[in-house]
Amino acid sequence: MSKQIFAIFNDEDVLMKSIKPLRGTGVNIKNVFSPFPIHGLDTELGLARTRISICSFIYGLTGLSLAILMTWYMMISDWPMDIGGKPNFSYYKNIPAFVPVLFESTVLCAAHGMVITFYLRSKLLPGVTAFVPDVRMTDDRFVMQVELEDAATEAEVTAVLMKHGAEEVKEYGK
């Protein structure tokens, strides 16, 4: 893995304005950490669109299928019951009664699946040390992660970052 350095900014406007010229000079910006969402930052960074919505759709379909299987097995196949004068011998005639279950199961699987996927993808698991280049990024500073092509250019890149408004440039955890 090539070396990473972190530029710390005091103001999100300065950070936003610095992204374009920095990329123009060949600085490889990997990520930006911020205490709050900055409008238009993902388009400025040119990040790829999240694929979590596709996951969510698949999880939802899974939940729906599981719930159909469950209601069919429990209420129709294994132990049909006469509830409110509606004998459960066919699935489609009783489907309105199952819709709340199907809906809830779809939502449950989609929501939990998304949260778990997000945690896995961001490497946030119980017992794992979180990736925090600088603790102030959870409070009032904005941190830009920059990847160096080769270690020789470090001083050069640092100078460019400082020129474009960075408060300080540091290495991970120092």
Partner 1 sequence: MNYVITKNNKTLSFVLMGVGILSIVYGFATDSLRAWGSLLMSNFYVMAIALAGVFFLAVQYVAEVGWSVQIKRVLMAMGTYLPYAGGFLILIFAVGHHDLYFWTHHEYYDKASPEYDRLLDGKHAFLNMPFYIARLVLYAGIWSYFALMLRKESLKEDIVGGVINYKKSVKLSAIFLVLFAVSSSTSAWDILMSIDAHWFSTLFGWYIFAGMFVSGLTVIAMLVIYLKRSGYLPNVNDSHIHDLGKFMFAFSIFWTYLWFSQFMLIWYANLPEEVAYYAFRQDHFKAIFVLNFLINFFCPFLILMTRDSKRIKGLILFIGSIMLIGHWLDVYLIVMPGVVGEHAKIGITEIGTTCFFAGLFLYVFFNSLSKAPLVPKNHPMLGESLHHQI
Distance of closest approach, residue 40 Cβ to partner 1, in angstroms: 6
Pick between residue 106 and residue 158 the one whose CB is nearest to partner 1. 106
Q: Minimum distance from CB of 159 to partner 1 (Å)?
A: 33
Q: Which span (62-70, 91-99, 125-133, 153-161) binds partner 1, by CB under 8 A?
A: 91-99
Residue 170 buriedness (CB in 10 A; 0-12 / 13-18 / 19+): middle
Task: Give the shortest CB-120-to-partner 1 separation in angstroms.
Answer: 23
C-alpha triplet 41, 43, 49: angle, nearest 5° = 110
Number of residues that bind partner 1 (CB under 8 A): 13
Closest to 101 (Cα-Cα) out of 76, 70, 56, 62? 70
Q: Does 81 bind partner 1 (CB under 8 A)?
A: no
Instruction: Check binding of 97 to partner 1 (CB under 8 A).
Output: yes
Q: Does residue number 115 form part of the binding site for partner 1 (CB under 8 A)?
A: no
Chain centroid to Cα 42, Å, comes to 13
- Residue 53 as a binder of partner 1 (CB under 8 A): the answer is yes
Site stretch for partner 1 (CB under 8 A), options 29-37, 63-71, 95-103, 123-131: 95-103
In Å, how far are 47, 70, 103, 123, 158 from 57, measured between CA atoms? 22, 20, 13, 22, 43
Among residues 24, 46, 96, 127, which is the contact residue for partner 1, using CB under 8 A?
96
164: helix, coil or strand?
coil
CA distance 22 to 119: 31
Cβ closest to partner 1, residue 14 vs residue 41: 41
Tell me the helix, strand and coil percentages in the chain, rounded to 5.
55, 15, 35
Q: Which of 47, 69, 99, 125 binds partner 1 (CB under 8 A)?
A: 99
